[in-house]
Structure 1
Amino acid sequence: MRFLIFILLSPVILQAAEFPDTLFLRTSDLQRKKQLIHEDALYKAAYEDLLQRADRTLGKPLYSVMSKTLTPDSGDKHDYMSFGPYWWPDPKKEDGLPFINRDGEVNPASRDSRSDRPKLSALTDELKILSMAYYLSEDNKYSERGAALINTWFLDKQTRMNPNLNYGQAIPGRTKGRGIGIIETRKLDKIVDALILFSGSKEFTDDIIRGTKKWLNDYLTWLLTSKNGQDEAKTKNNHGTWYDFQVAALALYCDRKDDALTVFKRVDSLRIPKQIKEDGSQPHELARTRSFDYSKMNIQGFLQLARLAEHLDFDLWNSNEKRLLKAVLFLEPYSNEEMKWPHKQIKTIRVESLFMVLKLAAPYKNKKIDQSAMGLTSKAGLEILFY
């Protein structure tokens, strides 16, 4: 597998080259960023911010599904549990049941201690920060924290999560879990990248790497075979895109190339032509109350799939007459704060959030996109270290 091949260069940079490509950053990109944090003011500032954020994680409690205050219907707290974020008590009912939908409006109760979602989000965010901090600084305090986080969430029999999302995004009064909940594990690629970036540390033993890989493989099998997984595979908007992304990312890491190739073929023949119009608009996402956010989120998933597909020499960049490029160009003008988004958007637009989309589109070498990405660099903060 190409992103797991170690690249040996001259002895001068041998230590940096001991790391293989991550899912998205090539070894040469990683080495370049390691140089830029000493040569470029913006990268130096981003690096300092990265270390500060990494340091703030060190004293925090470890995350576990066992700390939620509710137990799923299975009777096993090891099963992940969460609630649909846009569902609210019905004010016309005394008990509020069944909950009703208010698209784009997050119910704070869906993010409290009854749910595992906040913990999983914090886990993946911290591992993203810690693994890059370790790679750039070579300080073992970051790999120690990373190993503890992974051991607690994935490996320790007392605290680990079972590799399923049977009870994801429940809706009180309606359902105890849905395939839609699988969107909540879309950042598991950060676990893969962390395992790769931490691989040179003494804390990341063969047992930790093998054990986590087995967990990810088991979860991949659940994604492909469970009712919830099969339901999510059939969705036609960003949920389908991010389902495919998760399957492809985990399949590549777990050496299941046939499963990854099946995804890439489906994205090429079904997802892209059915989700992105010739003008670059994404109708399913434009129909939402946060149409900018969801359009951006969906094309990010597609661009990341295109990068993954490179590992199997499958070209999604040029699929369907470059529909992905057209979708990026549809959004690109709104990297300018003076441009008004003409579709429904109930939340304030953060133009800097387009940075990662524009950077992911770099393979197109499109002058307009590259210039807009450059224009957002000063606002992107530490994200410049990851894209």
Structure 2
Amino acid sequence: MPRKPEIEYINLAEVAKLSVSSSNDADTDNAIKNVKKLADGALKKGPYTITEGKSLPHIAASGDIHDFLSYAPYWWPSPKNDGKYVRKDGKRNPDVALVKDQSQLEDFSEQLMFLCLGYQIYKNENYANHAIYLLDVFLVNPSTKMNPHVNYGQVVRGTNNPGGLGRAEGIISTRVLARVANVIPMLYGFAGYARISGAITSWFQQYGHWLLTSEIGRAEAATINNHASWYMVQLIMVISTFGLPSTTPSDHLPAPLKDLTCHFLQSTLPQQINMETGDQPLESARTRPFHYLVFNLQALLYITNWSCPYQQILGCQDDMLEKTVSYLVSYDTDAKNEDPTEAVRCVQQMQLRFIHKAERGEGDTDSSQTIIDSYQQFVDKAYRSDMAEKISGPKNSIHYLWSR
């Protein structure tokens, strides 16, 4: 069964170049057709809200059903039966699914993306109207909206945490808010969006302020592993799209975002990657090493794809990312019983960077072609593997809209 793709940066300028009548390559034409299928399906789905059906004990410790709640996935009741919870890395506690907030948010973000892409390409106002309806219910309506913070994300239950507060790690539970912020500008040209535009901007500005100033947000920003990367994904997309309270969105990077992104790319990122091997030691030490190597790289590619227009300010990290992708390509997933299809989009995105460099005449042409070919061999092998179905279907094809 196809898996849901992890979020990746959608270059809206590339999507805006497309139309149904354009003469495109076959993969892009297929993606355009699949967007219509997905957008038509999205018209029948929703609305989504984290307030639906909540009851004790699965409500945030604040008692407010509008506060996002998720449980720490790898924490289990202690075998000592003493009321405490203990961590078992890589072993997911199935009862985290008793709280639906994260799945509601993820479904909302996915259907919103399909609708916004559908409206951008097909100019069908039904898509835009339903997108606005989903946004209104999830982020605006006082009865159903989510509060703009994650104070109760990845809560460790039991007597370990009598106050029921969330952890810095909980911010990763809401990473798809970056997708929401990314696609909303496709609605700016639709007159109906004006009704909620002020409320949406205010919500994301409050959320961005919380990411920057809250104790939980600052703690997550200070981490080094994949949590730091996914924190930056949210911060980048939210603030670059909506600005901060008392500011208006602009083409310029707000100072806090510029400073934090520079620090991440120039200080945190070099601590994540072994430049001799391309390994990410903090991720490969986990019980599912290949999965976490890919998971962090997905965030790094998101950040660096977004940062391309600002390379003169933020710098270029392609050498480091090329090392990490080459490490993944050489990883023996068969011997480790891991799923190679998880890495396909990362490899394709890095391959595209090398193709563009070759087209611009940058770097050593023969060396670049060797890398491009090795990446393609990995992708081809993944598509021939027993797990190929996981990267099939419409959802796994539409990336051609923004990564041609």
TM over 0.5: yes
SS in 1 for 2:121: helix
Q: State the number of aligned residues.
A: 353
Aligned residue in 2 for 1:245:
233
CA apart distance, 1:349:
0.6
* Gaps in structure 1 of 5+ consecutive residues: 1-21
Classify 1:357/1:183 alpha carbon distance in 2 versus 1 (closer, same or farther; 3 Å). farther
Q: Residues 115 and 98 of structure 1: is their aligned pair in 2 closer, same or farther, counting only changes over 3 Å?
A: farther
Residue matched to 1:288: 286
Higher relative contact order (CA 8 A, sep 6+): 2
Q: Give how far 1:43 is off.
A: 3.1
1:110-259 equivalences under 5 Å are 110-112=96-98, 114-173=99-158, 174-175=160-161, 176=164, 177-205=166-194, 207-253=195-241, 254=243, 255=249, 257-259=254-256
Partner of residue 323, structure 1: 320
Return closer, same or farther for 1:127/1:37 CA change in 2, 3 Å cut-off.
farther
- Structure 2 vs 1, CA of residues 142 and 287 (structure 1 numbering), >3 Å: closer, same or farther? same
- Quote how far apart the aligned CAs of 1:304 are: 1.9
Matched AA of 1:284: L
SS for the counterpart of 1:157 is coil
Q: CA distance change for structure 1 residues 108 and 218 in 2, over 3 Å: closer, same or farther?
A: same
What are the Cα deviations for residues 50-107 of structure 1, in whole angstroms up to 9, with x where unaligned? 32232222223311121133321112111111111222233442x7x32222222322
Give yes or no for contact 1:248–1:263 (8 Å, CA) kept in 2. no
The residue correspondences of 1:269-308 to structure 2 (distance < 5 A) are 269-278=266-275, 279-308=277-306
C-alpha change, 1:369 and 1:259, in structure 2 (3 Å) is farther
Q: What displacement does 1:200 show?
A: 2.1
Relative distance call for 1:317 and 1:142 in structure 2 (3 A) is: same
Flag the 1:146–1:125 CA change in 2: closer, same or farther, 3 A: same
Q: 1:355 aligns with which of 345, 360, 364?
A: 345
> 2:399 is matched with which residue?
383
Q: Relative to 1, partners in 2 of residues 1:190 and 1:218: Cα closer, same or farther, differing over 3 Å?
A: same
Q: Cα distance 1:316–1:57, how it changes in 2: closer, same or farther (>3 A)? A: same
- SS at 2:191 equivalent: coil
Please report the TM-score for the alignment, with normalisation by the length of structure 1: 0.82
Gap change, CA 1:60 and 1:26, over 3 Å in 2: closer
* Distance change (3 Å), C-alpha of 1:352 and 1:248: closer
Q: Percent identity?
A: 28
**Counterparts of 1:369 and 1:122, CA distance in 2:** 36
Task: Please tell me the root mean square deviation across aligned C-alpha atoms, in Å.
Answer: 2.8
Residue type of the partner of 1:323? M
Give deviations 1:139-188, integer Å, cap 9, x for gaps: 12211111011111111111111111000111111332111000122222
> Following the alignment from structure 1 to structure 2, what is the Cα–Cα distance between the partners of residues 368 and 243?
34
2:92 corresponding residue in structure 1: 106
Partner of 2:369: 367
CA drift at 1:315: 5.8
Structure 2 runs not aligned, ≥5 long: 1-7, 244-248, 358-367, 384-391
CA apart distance, 1:327: 1.2
- The alpha-carbon distance between structure 1 residues 194 and 248, as it changes in their structure 2 partners (threshold 3 A), is closer
Structure-2 change in CA distance of 1:235 and 1:123 (3 Å): same
TM-score, with normalisation over the residues of structure 2? 0.78
* Runs ≥4 residues deviating over 6 A: none
Q: 1:135: Cα distance to partner?
A: 1.3
Name the SS for the 1:288 alignment partner.
coil
Q: Distance in 2 between the 1:302 and 1:64 partners?
A: 29
